[in-house]
Amino acid sequence: MKSLNVITLYDNAGEVEQYIDEALEISGGTVEIALVVNKDTADAAGGIEEKYRGRPVDVIRYGENVGYLNAMLKTIRERETEAYDYVILSNTDIRYGTKDFFRKLGEFTYSPEIGCIAPSVYATKSGSYSNPHYMERVPKAKIEQLIRIFRHPAAGRLYLQVAGIKAGKAKAEKKPGCYVYSPHGCYMIFTKAFTRAIRGYEYGVKLYSEEAAIGELLRKNGMKCYYDDRIEVIHEESSVTGKINDRARFTAWSQSLEYILKEFY
């Protein structure tokens, strides 16, 4: 089993290096890293290249901030990925709870209809499990409601605050594996068949609603997402997007939902 793990650098070199160190250590040579440079104010990418010279870490500069999902989409468009059984798109605020994550992934056999594998995700700040993410397709009316809310930062903050309180009161326990509509966006594993199917696709915005896009692309291509509780990652929720000011963040959020609505509904 061989995987390509696409990650991004957004002025978070320390976190990136910590993630790469652990992924390479536990993967036993089965994982290669593609690091897409989105923002590098301190010019840390050169140091990362030097640190991992001779190891399976490719630092990619596209000359602009391509965003999160497009970092993976652009990479599979511009390089040969047929040699990989899986392409993984992940945050770098991820830790592996056990050393056998990639060994297990390589041993499991998944149905041909599965295009995306969503591991169990334990979120440290909330002390709760984030997967399964969405069990069913989000109704059009709900997306329209969220667009209206996120167009106004004050309303968006209130909505997220209330949602956070509700989530805190009902902490999700780990659930058994099942089919779901979409994965949690912090860690998504794509099969070779799915990466073939979406090669050439470009996400219409830079940030947010990536999970919905994946759910819709799976649906469009007659594939499914499987939440697999047998493999697990730990999400430390450091959130690079927290560096974006509220107005820009909610504008990006509403625009991403507008894109999902127009593109898929």
Q: Which of 229, 240, 242, 236 is nearest to 124 (CA)?
A: 236
Topology annotation, domain 3-264: Spore Coat Polysaccharide Biosynthesis Protein SpsA; Chain A (3.90.550)
Tell me the domain boundaries of the chain.
3-264
CA 137 from centroid of its chain's CA atoms: 18
**Residue 132: cis peptide before it, omega within 30 degrees of 0:** yes
C-alpha triplet 144, 146, 149: angle, nearest 5° = 115
Question: pLDDT in tens for each of the 265 residues of the chain?
Answer: 999 999 999 999 999 999 999 999 999 999 999 999 999 999 999 999 999 999 999 999 999 999 999 999 999 999 999 999 999 999 999 999 899 999 999 999 999 999 999 999 999 988 999 998 899 999 999 999 999 999 999 998 988 887 765 565 556 889 999 999 999 999 999 999 999 999 999 999 999 999 999 999 999 999 999 999 999 999 998 766 556 677 888 999 999 999 999 999 9
